[in-house]
Chains A and B, each alone.
Chain A
């Protein structure tokens, strides 16, 4: 096609695909140097895919417990992976921030409602002269408590949109996941979606970035809630579970939405692939780009036909033994 250096015989890649990739690359990179490197990578990748046509995602012989093959990832996630780590972290932070805008009003409305109630009553009682001094101290304490809660919510949000948050540290995985769930709960309740968590009793300690894990899991939870909402399914539930394994830890998000067709299982990881009117199609692409450099995997479970199930595998290398 018009893109120089790419032989027109590349059948596994649609021409439109190639153009999209090149365009998004041009949009993402300012330094011509990195652009060239990435173009080279893209071309190499395209050549490779000519030698090895992509595997079918729902092949019957495939061991479905494993992420689809040892092949790196959906090719188009590559453009994000090729971003310098700091740029990727920035993009991920912004994308999460965009999604969290939907959560913020629900999240903050509760402490604000409580504060409004306390101050409303206190001023009414003050006016009628029936508020005892110790009751005044009590209500001030209560208001303080709710203000603190609102501040904590904001701090948690800030942690998730940090653009310098990619530094790994010793992390209690379930604690981090529980915080993401707590953030999204009011939104889920508003959409009448029930959230269930299934965590092991033992703490799971990992050397990972809280921000990265939180962002990925939030993306997955958002997708599940959005899928349920869009399809208007009768069953409205999402389950988040953690399974320690000999080779690492597997985090699973399972929903009762319309599910993902096997032929879409890899496509949806490409950047800008979205079936939503207001979606950017970046959530999954960014999530994969965040986790693969750490040796992790993110994939759709093709066995599940009843709703969608996505697995996030965090490798053993990042898995330090629980403190003993």
Chain B
């Protein structure tokens, strides 16, 4: 399977949709286009890429689609295509986390630049997300006691303080602590603190 990301184009106007599709292919991008938000939702899955989306569409609007994707936990970057008089909608879209917008008539070179940025953003978000998943999996492998120790360590408590709090020996705390560091694959206390912010939030 090729891992080249896909530019998903959603526009309810067939002519405009085809024009965008064709133009992006000329730039060597991999493109899939959809005539409606609904058809995109049923086909997209979780594939990497970015979304080029018309703000105004029949049926589910661009903003509605953005909301649904957000509710599904998708972090696919969105570039909105806006027309004349769409400023309020655009502001709303950006507040809701759209990465970018381009105005109609769309300048091709501008669109391509924005798309490449959005694809990079998607990659960044994905690797961050993959990292978070990985950390949560490691955390799952810790025992209840080890998790307690991890929490207290990352709160800045010393081994002695933890020992007193948990009514165990400092020696045992040290053992737990070492196990936590190996299982979590943390090379320093700072790294462990970062990981704690992922799993303990």
Give the bracket for the number of chain A residues in contact with chain B: 20 to 34
8 Å CB contact of A117 from B57, B59, B105: B105
Most buried by A among B12, B19, B61, B106: B19
Q: How many residues of B contact A (CB 8 A)?
A: 22
A38 to B51, CA, bound (A): 63
Interface of B is mostly: loop
Question: A125 with B26: in contact, given A109-B83, A110-B15, A117-B20 (CB under 8 Å)?
Answer: yes
Which of A96-145 touch B at CB < 8 Å?
109-118, 120-121, 124-125, 135, 139, 142, 145
Assess whether A189 is interfacial by the CB under 8 Å rule.
yes
Once the chains bind, are B15 and A146 in contact (CB under 8 Å)? Answer: yes
Instruction: Contacts A139-B22, A189-B12, A190-B56 given; indicate if A113 touches B106 (C-beta within 8 A).
Output: yes
Cβ of A235 < 8 Å from any Cβ of B? no
State whether the Cβ of A241 lies closer than 8 Å to any Cβ in chain B.
Answer: no
> When A109-B104, A118-B22, A124-B109 are in contact, do A194 and B16 touch as well, CB less than 8 Å?
no
Q: Which residues of B contact A112 (CB under 8 A)?
A: 105
Q: Is B58 a contact of A189 with CB atoms below 8 Å? A: yes
Q: How distant is the Cα of A124 from the Cα of B20 in the complex, in angstroms?
A: 15
Q: With A192-B56, A194-B58 in contact, do A142 and B22 touch (Cβ < 8 Å)?
A: yes
B83:A114 contact, CB within 8 angstroms = no
A contact residues around B144 at 8 Å (CB): none
CB-CB under 8 A from A110, the residues of chain B are: 13, 15-16
B107: interface (CB < 8 Å): yes
**A116 touching B105, Cβ below 8 Å:** yes
Task: Let me know if A189 and B56 touch, CB within 8 A.
Answer: yes
> What 1/0 flags go to A183-194 for Cβ under 8 Å of B?
001101110101
Chain B positions within 8 Å of A194 at CB level: 58-59
Contacts of A186 in B (CB 8 A): 13
**How far does the alpha carbon of A189 sit from the alpha carbon of B12 in the complex, in Å?**
10
Contact status of A114 and B104, CB under 8 A, knowing A139-B22, A194-B58, A194-B59: no
Contacts A/B (CB < 8 Å), 15 sampled: A113-B19, A116-B105, A117-B16, A118-B23, A121-B23, A121-B26, A121-B108, A142-B19, A142-B22, A146-B15, A189-B12, A189-B56, A194-B58, A194-B59, A195-B58
Given contacts A117-B105, A149-B15, 4 further A-B contacts (CB under 8 A): A113-B19, A116-B105, A146-B19, A189-B57
Which residues of B does A touch, CB under 8 Å?
12-13, 15-16, 18-20, 22-23, 26, 56-59, 61, 83, 104-109
Q: Which 7 A-B pairs have the closest CB atoms?
A: A114-B19, A117-B19, A114-B15, A116-B105, A110-B13, A121-B23, A121-B108
